[in-house]
Amino acid sequence: MKTSKIRKRKLGSYPFLSVIFSISLALFVIGLTGLLLVHAGALSRIIKENIEIQVFLNRNVTESDRYKLERSLSEKPFVKKEKGKALIEFLSKEEAAKAFIEATGEDFLSFLGDNPLRDAYLLRLDPEYYEKDQLSEIKQSIESINSVFEVVYLESLIESINQNITKITLILGIFGLILITASVVLINNTIKLALFSQRFLIRSMQLVGATQNFIKRPFLYRSFLHGLMGSLIATVLLLMITFSAYRQIPDLEILRDDKALLMLAGALFIVGMAIGVLSTLSAMRKYMRMSLDELY
């Protein structure tokens, strides 16, 4: 019985609840920041996908030319596609006039006597093509087509969206970096304090001729397990909160990105285990290099 207890101590057992708690808490906070980034990215993508570019046609365009234009636009890489189908909608000048009258309540056709509006195509762009320079190139490319009169999009709105998304991403990135740094320090200090009680056992094993790898192995193994457990706890809590929020606020479902959530969970596991192992390795090196006087 006594031999069993000594063996457990030699294998690097130490109070681990505080270590697991620190890892779980730190990773949970990091995960919350990650969730904000994931949902901010999903929101920006949805906003961009719902902005339309209007392609107004010349008045003398024939049906044949119009269909050629539609086919040409459908093949463009910047046009968003769903299930292989380009998101292009044709809006005739009659439909545009009807929509305007319904929206404003003013029948401009009655006193103008003619419809001044033009047939148009409404394009939904791929989110990767919403940079200012890219939009300018797209506009010039489409306007160079003979059947096209003008390309119109809300340039100021798109530029404002891009600027705001950049600012939000930068702020969240800096905040996340600060949290990661604080978390690493917290976990590192917690593990060092936990190993402090083992410093004399480490020295005793050195004195009896144990190699460094033999001494480190049980501590690194336990730190790996503690990092794994802490990551699991943090991930479960984050997913519970996330899916609970989806149930309580149904509108949040549009921001749901299961792939990004899985990647975030995987990152938390990697970070948790890596920090646990590296912090333990750092603490082990410190205590193994100390002189006997420094241990007291």
Domain boundaries, the chain: 2-45+161-295, 52-153
- Under CATH, which number does the domain 52-153 receive? 3.30.70.3040
Q: What is the per-residue pLDDT across 124-146, written as a single tens digit (0 to 9) for each?
A: 888 788 777 888 888 888 988 88
Q: Which of 12-16, 102-106, 215-219, 273-277 has the highest mean pLDDT?
A: 273-277
pTM flag (> 0.85): no
pLDDT, average across residues 242-263: 86
Q: What is the per-residue pLDDT across 23-72, written as a single tens digit (0 to 9) for each?
A: 888 889 888 888 888 888 888 778 777 778 889 998 888 888 888 888 88
Between 151 and 203, the higher pLDDT residue: 151
Backbone angles phi, psi at 150, to 5 degrees: -160, 150
Q: What is the per-residue pLDDT across 209-235, written as a single tens digit (0 to 9) for each?
A: 777 777 778 788 888 888 899 899 999
Residues in the chain: 296
Say what the pLDDT of residue 104 is: 75
Both tokens of 49, joined, read 């996908």
**DSSP characters over the chain:** -HHHHHHHHHTT----HHHHHHHHHHHHHHHHHHHHHHHHHHHHHHHHHT-EEEEEEPTT--HHHHHHHHHHHHT-TTB-EETTEE-EEEE-HHHHHHHHHHHH---HHHHH-S-----EEEEEB-GGG-SHHHHHHHHHHHHTSTTEEEEE--HHHHHHHHHHHHHHHHHHHHHHHHHHHHHHHHHHHHHHHHHHTTHHHHHHHHHTT--HHHHHHHHHHHHHHHHHHHHHHHHHHHHHHHHHHHHH-GGGGGG--HHHHHHHHHHHHHHHHHHHHHHHHHHHHHHHH--HHHH-
